[in-house]
Amino acid sequence: MKLLLDTHILLWSLLEPARLAERVTAELQEPSNEIWLSPVTTWEVLILAEKGRVILKPDPFLWIRQVFKTVPFKEAQLSHEVAIESRLLDLPHQDPVDRFLAATARVYGLTLVTADERLLYSKKFSVLPNR
């Protein structure tokens, strides 16, 4: 399975793994699964750190770069097709990060791992719910 991590799933997996559902933990640890990240997730992690909603030491930039060195993520490129798809998706809200992540899952054929109730019930892309 190809898993695209929502921002909170990335942070929980690294900082608060007890918040992950058993199935999500098992899938993240399954060696045959691929773990994917969008650059939008990196951007959102840094925004959350700037706002003080998450503390990343020694600083957010070093922290995220260290994550990239130690965790074998694949990068889901932010492409023109992802941008187009982000506007075509029928989602109940306009949150740009959610739209880009959902569009990325759809364009690249990835399963979005999320606990976000606004994304869990879409039939337009595959979802692995954290609950």
| Segment 93-124, tens digit of pLDDT | 789 999 999 999 999 999 999 999 888 888 88
| Segment 58-104, tens digit of pLDDT | 999 999 999 999 999 999 999 999 999 999 998 887 899 999 999 99
20: which DSSP letter? S
* Residue type (1 letter), 14: L
Task: Note whether 101 and 38 are within 8 A (CB).
Answer: yes
Greatest alpha-carbon span in the chain: 40
Q: Which of the four pLDDT bands, split at 50, 70 and 90, describes residue 39?
A: very high
- Architecture in CATH for domain 2-129: 3-Layer(aba) Sandwich (3.40)
Task: Judge if the upstream peptide bond of residue 17 is cis by omega within 30 degrees of 0.
Answer: no
Cα 49 from Cα 51, distance rounded (Å): 5
Q: What is the pLDDT of residue 93?
A: 79
Q: What is the pLDDT of residue 109?
A: 97
Cα 80 from Cα 82, distance rounded (Å): 5
Q: What is the pLDDT of residue 94?
A: 83
Residue-range domain boundaries for the chain:
2-129
